[in-house]
Homo-oligomer: A and B are copies of this chain.
Amino acid sequence: MKQQPASPSIESRLRQCGMRMTPQRLAVAELMLGAPTHMMPQEVYEILHQQLPSLSPNTIYMTLDHFEQAGLLKKIFIDGKAVFDSCTDRHDHAVCRNCGTIRDVPCGSIEHTPLTLKRWHIHAESRVWSGLCPACSEMEKPS
């Protein structure tokens, strides 16, 4: 009894980007594009390797990059490590320096580029808040 197949749009979205449909890509798409998530390539590999034992890390890297180029994912860097975000809308992130949790943070009104960058052509902006998430804050409290 198969689960409801990935929303039909996923496959068509990939095709629209001129990508061939392969089991590997479909698996990555189902994992990453279904619900809001942040994952490192390695995590993706570990999860999918179970259902596709022959899968290679290489393929994960390539697939994630393809998806990013197609605008399906956004690549962000947290503490120097690559993380792929299924939400491509403009937003910031908060990361817990204890447990590593990543949380989306809506950013306020669209801010104008600072005067200092008047002569730059800015394409992207990223902002990361770093600290302790509520759960870890609680744990660290002195009794």
- A interface size (C-beta, 8 A): 35
Main secondary structure of the interface of A (DSSP, over half): strand
Indicate if the CB atoms of B106 and A114 lie closer than 8 Å: yes
Task: Choose from B79, B122, B137 the contact partner of A131 (Cβ within 8 Å).
Answer: B122
Q: How far is the CB of A13 from chain B (nearest CB, A)?
A: 26
Task: Choose from B97, B126, B134 the contact partner of A123 (Cβ within 8 Å).
Answer: B97
For A96, the chain B residues whose CB sits under 8 A away are 120
Indicate if the CB atoms of A133 and B114 lie closer than 8 Å: no
Task: Choose from B80, B116, B121 the contact partner of A132 (Cβ within 8 Å).
Answer: B121
Known A-B contacts: A80-B81, A125-B129. Give 17 more (CB < 8 A): A77-B77, A92-B114, A96-B120, A105-B116, A107-B114, A108-B114, A114-B129, A117-B129, A120-B134, A120-B137, A121-B131, A121-B132, A123-B131, A124-B131, A126-B127, A126-B130, A127-B127
Chain A residues within 8 Å of B, Cβ to Cβ? 77, 79-82, 92, 94, 96-97, 103, 105-108, 113-114, 116-117, 119-134, 137
